[in-house]
Structure 1
Amino acid sequence: MEYMHGISSSGGMGAAMVNYFARKGAQVVVNGRNGANVAKVANECNIASPKKLKALQIIADVTKDDDCRRIVETVVCHFGRIDILVNNAGAGAFGSIYDPKLMQTFDHMMKLDVRSVVLITQLAVPHLERTKGVIVNISSTLSVKPNVHFMPYCLAKCAIDMFTKCIALELGPKGIRVNSVNPTAVRTNFQSATGAGDILVGVLKHLEETNPLRRIGTTQDVVNAVAFLASQESAFVTGTHLMVDGASIHV
């Protein structure tokens, strides 16, 4: 494995992913808005790398177009290539049709969870063409299973699923595979950013009790799925959504 670029890889699920690829000997990029978190995860990757490779650190906000461009330009300038792009930027948000701030929440969700992914991907595609690379988008089971508490997030992840399918068709002839991983709830620091408070606690408890496997997901469950889709083991898999959910979407 030569090179992996992870978007928003400085915390939670993203940190677990970038650490995995570092342990496998990939050159990795750690980026996020919090410089201290970026440095911490990068140091963990440096220690984990069997080749003692140094993770590239980028502090950026993917809701800003200039930062998205800077991310891709910095990566290509530093490494000269992109083999694997994992689009993990995102946050959840509580939102009801009765919420007076619904449109503000909706706009933020679409900008962070959708627009940034589309732009980063567009910027990375010319480089992925050269390497016959792989794109893995992190979606959610909420793209297919509605939830009254997280309507704006459901809409955003539904868009990511369709984006995945559309560009899988367009980029397939270029040798680029595109898939998404759709986890159920996973306990990470992501959830503290939702602003849902007690509602989120109740949702997680309900998901755990009703899941056929009687648990919610772990970051390792998601990492394993991403690793499979990024590898040659899935060489004939593209345009698919891999549910990592313990069959919860069928409950």
Structure 2
Amino acid sequence: MSTTYDFTGRVALITGSSSGIGAATALLLAKSGANVVITGRIAENVNKICKECTEVSPKGLKALPVVADVTKEEDVDRLLDTTIKTFGKLDILVNNAGFGGFSQISDAEYLKSQKAVFDTNLNSVIYLTHKSIQYLEKTKGNIINISSIAGIQSGKGISAYCMSKAAMDMFTKCIAVDLGSKGIRVNSVNPGSVRTNIMRNITLTEEQMKAGFESISSKYPVGRGSARDWTLQTLLPIWPVTKLIL
């Protein structure tokens, strides 16, 4: 059985979509006919994924690149304004941008690290979601929050990350109740370890990343983790399926 998804005419904004899970999500949505907005802090990466999305789009729809830092309110405002000015609406918001780091409560820099993690993983999500409601209500749209298994399972040295994801899960539950009457559906997903650049971005070496992924993968029933596989099998079934091919 194969399943295809038809997102023709839909507009999807995916934060943190210049790499990893966000990029895989954007590519699959583009392949399914959606107009996608690609955003991240590094222009080169944003443009690269935009090009790939345009290439896989059935009608060659050009992805919209917006270089932005989600921890800056002015950047988030510009991101949303550019999306609406370009496409006239918003159907799908994927809050994916995430940041992790290793720091224990006894460390001198813990409070600084905790604030940085919360600003990216939680506060930016709350801000963008709040700003997007007026547009999602018009389209009866969807919000997908990319949480983590860390939101329900503790880990040594990652308390800030765990707390931010646990808060995201509760935020999701609460706003699902708040926004249901507006016709906006809200869900979150809690992926396990996925082989993306997030560990490289927190200064681990290639050897350390390989060892870490191998250790984690050995504990999973399928023994692996893939951004594309995870996106296809876990994220898309949450969204409305408008075409099925059996």
Same fold (TM > 0.5): yes
Alignment partners' CA distance in 2, 1:6 and 1:52: 19
Query: What does residue 102 of structure 1 align with?
Result: 110
What is the one-letter code of the residue matched to 1:52? Answer: G
Alignment of 1:96-135 (within 5 A): 96-135=104-143
Q: Is 1:212 equivalent to 2:221 in the alignment?
A: yes
Corresponding residue number in structure 2 for 1:246: none
Q: Does 1:194 align with 2:195?
A: no
Identify the residue that residue 84 of structure 1 maps to in structure 2: 92
**Where do residues 58-73 of structure 1 align in structure 2 (5 Å cutoff)?**
58-73=66-81
Q: Report the Cα distance in structure 2 between the residues aligned to 1:209 and 1:19, rounded to whole angstroms.
A: 28
Pick the aligned partner of 1:227 from 203, 211, 236: 236
Note if contact 1:23-1:45 (Cα within 8 Å) is conserved in structure 2.
yes
The answer (yes or no) to whether the contact 2:24–2:228 under 8 Å persists in 1 is yes
Q: CA deviation at 1:164?
A: 0.4
What is the alpha-carbon distance in structure 2 between the residues aligned to residue 17 and residue 95 of structure 1?
29
Question: Structure 1: which amino acid aligns with 2:79?
Answer: I
Please tell me whether the aligned partners of residues 135 and 230 of structure 1 are also in contact (alpha carbons under 8 angstroms): no
- What amino acid is the match of 1:5? L
- Partner of 2:145, secondary structure, is strand
| 2:44 counterpart of 1:50 | no
Q: CA deviation at 1:196?
A: 4.9
| 1:243 counterpart residue number | none
How much has 1:216 moved relative to structure 2?
A: 3.2
Q: 1:228 offset after TM fit, Å?
A: 1.3
Distance 2:208 2:110 in 1: 17
Shift of 1:177: 0.6
Structure 2 Cα separation of the partners of residues 40 and 15 of structure 1: 10
Gap runs ≥5 in structure 2: 1-6
Distance in 1, matches of 2:35 and 2:219, equals: 40
2:4 corresponding residue in structure 1: none
Q: What is the rounded CA distance, in whole Å, between the counterparts of 2:215 and 2:47 in structure 1?
A: 36
What TM-score, normalized to structure 1? 0.88
The counterpart of 2:178, out of the listed 160, 166, 170, is: 170
SS at match of 1:169: helix
- CA deviations 1:165-214 (Å, max 9, x no partner) are 0100000111111001110000111221123557655542321122233x
Shift of 1:4: 1.1
2:203 partner letter = G
- Structure 1 letter corresponding to 2:238: L
Tell whether 2:190 aligns with 1:182: yes
C-alpha deviation, 1:17, in angstroms = 0.7
Query: Which consecutive unaligned segments of at least 5 residues does structure 1 have?
Result: 234-251
Helix, strand or coil at the partner of 2:217: helix
Deviation (angstroms), 1:230:
2.0
State the Cα distance separating 1:150 from its structure 2 match: 1.4
AA aligned to 1:169 is: V
- Aligned residue for 1:38, secondary structure, equals helix
